[in-house]
Structure 1
Amino acid sequence: MFERPSPLRALVAVSCVALLALGGACGPKAEDLETDGSKADEGAADGSAPAKPEAPAKIDPTLGALASTECRDAMRALGGLEALRTKGGRPDAKAAQAHWQTLEPWVKAMDRNLGRVPVRTQGRDVALAGQHAAQMGAAERDEDVQRALVGLTTQIRLVAFLEARRLLTVASDAKPDEAREPELLASQWDTAWCLWQGAVQPLARRVDASPTRGGEDWEATITAAFTEGRAAIDGSTHDPAITMARRQVIEKGSYALIHRLILDRAAAGEDPTGPFEAGALLDLLEDRIEDRNGPGLARMRKAVYGPVRDLEVAELERDLAVAFIKRARKYCDEAVTGGSLGTPEAIKGAWEGRIYSQVVITTMGPALSDAGFDADAYLADWDDYIEAVTAADSEAAAAISARLVEWNCAYQDRLEIAACTSSANETE
């Protein structure tokens, strides 16, 4: 097995240091010094006491400290729905309805935030979640109640994940603005963390513990990215080279773990909620798939909601790979061909390509083994590419980029994609 330090592993290691640093302080206290560094008790020239500038309000540096109350309340209710499922047996429909009543106003607000409110109708998610809640009360068979609870819970996860993505984008892409409220960026980042903790972290833990799809430490990796991104926010400003890159680790890492869990649940045909949950989780990846492999998305939905005996997990994995390998292709050489080496945008893109490639590496390796492909070496190339892009090393970046493109296109060919592409959709 090819072993070497990687940026992903470094994120996990550094997070412990970052957590300590966030809560500490060093050097003299701000109130002991004037803004020019002189001693504060040396009076003014006329003998009067010097005027001290008003100190800016101190922002709590703890990750999650500034998360919104609305998020905390909503994720607490989502946790209540989760608990109903983990108890086993027939879920309590009345208890689920009570949790849904708590969540409904929040889901309505999120639908408005996300633009998921069709004209003259209620929001898309509040309608679907309400249907699942109603089905729980009406269903007679235990397995139908269990599926309805999975549907309700996953619909809430989807809303929370989409809102977390929106907040992370707003915070990491924010331009300098002196009029911005000092706590705004940190609050947006913290609320995204609150949403991810409540909606996606439980999925990460399930994947990490899976005997067939686990072992990649997604929970630790994404937690580290949240921690480092928060540390890069300083009042009304932030370091985009860090926040933009860490957002990609969070977002694309979440896609990766959801991808793993879809396949895990699709294979659990003996569980009445297995393939059904795989289908519900596909909605969290919908906008990653529909414009790269739209026909494949339709096939996958038909398969997971159809007879279990007809479900081929390998076919699901292939259709997912078609979408994700295309998305990875864009970032194999974007920084090189676009002349943007060293910029926050280029660093961000390199991280996107790295994690999109990790999504498909489990099938890419076997498909290309006869051509001499080494999966560990390929991911190591991505790690080196991130370093070269960050350092604006054009020679190294170009050399590595050529290999990334070569293997990406080779896998697209094995998947029978008509031409190597980063954006074209499949056709029937």
Structure 2
Amino acid sequence: MNPATLSLLLFILFIVLIIFGIPIGFSLGIIGIIGLIVMDQNFMMVAQTFLSGINHFAYLAIPFFVLLGIVMEKAKISGLLVDFADELVGYLAGGLAMGTTIASAIFAAISGSGPATVAAIGTVAIPEMVKKGYSKRFAVSVAASGGILGPIIPPSIPFIIYGVVVEESITKLFLGGMGAGLVLAFLMMVLSFTKAKIEKVPVSGRGPSLKGILRATWRAKVGLIAPAVVLGLIYGGVCTPTESGAIGSIYVILVGFFVTRTLTLKGLLDCMEKTARTSAMIMFVIGAAYLPAWLMASWNIPEVGTKFILELGHSKFIFLIFVNILFLIIGSLLDTPAAIVILAPILHPIAIKLGIDPTHFGTIVVVNFVIGYITPPFAYNLFVAKGITGMTMDELSLAVLPFLFVSLLGLVLITYIPEISLFFPRLFMG
């Protein structure tokens, strides 16, 4: 059978398995094994490919950043960030909503996870917004959409995976995500301001005061120091992302025990158990995804794809349109780590041949997939928001639509204005 045809059939089978509720990791393993059978390959490749796929030092950063986010939530540091952000912009129309986005951006600079950001910030911010006159739909849409900043603003788990898979600098990718995340956060805040004006959401009536801002900054200092420590060590060239994640984890654990005093030994053990479960799930999906990725590489699918696309023309504009449409669809159906492992090795070489900067392209890829976190049917952030609010998925999907459209606008800007994702890499790394 033609390898391209077989790849298409296996992808269709994968979608069918997902629809029937088979976990993503197992679905990837099933199609990989079927591919091995059809191509008469040695079954030892299953174990070898799985283990070699996850055997990267950079992947050790994943459990550390997962632990960081979980401990931040357990230690009640996320509430301090919401109060700090509310003090900055709470006097404006939609101020608390904008403050929630700011808090999400700060938390994102610690955790690297979308669902963790929604859980940590949303648990505090959604009830507070409803209490202050926001509709429940408005409140939950702000928190759920703010969660997509988690995997974009560094440190970012998807950027770590992308950097390992295509062998690009993870630090440069982190810096590229910084610009993209700030643009998306700004657009979300503009939408919150406009929406609050239209819905006539009450404002606090108090203007900003230097005393109030300083007081809120002092109270939130432990939360604000965390991203400065984690990112400062990386960008200063002192530590790798893995080492920085370990140091950051120790920092927030000490803060939880001795500063906020909301973390107990039992609570820490619970955090470690959650970290182990989450990290194991991520690593299993990554390892399983390497099998179909290896099969496609052995069938020369990347080379065939490169040749086919380049024969259609050498237009960056058209190629990026194709990439965005493809990744938006895949991102709403497939788990982000698996999608990166399978698709990045195919499309990354094409982007390089077309003269697209690898950091810029990596940022586009991750932003596309992360928008899938608020795109039905497999919208992870909406599932977390559902657990917080009890709203149905239909209600949540409708509520988040304005923020989904704004995120797509941000994606267009990030795609066609390379300086958004290249400004910080050039500033810090030349």
Give me the TM-score of the superposition, normalised by structure 1. 0.30
Q: Which structure has the larger Rg?
A: 1
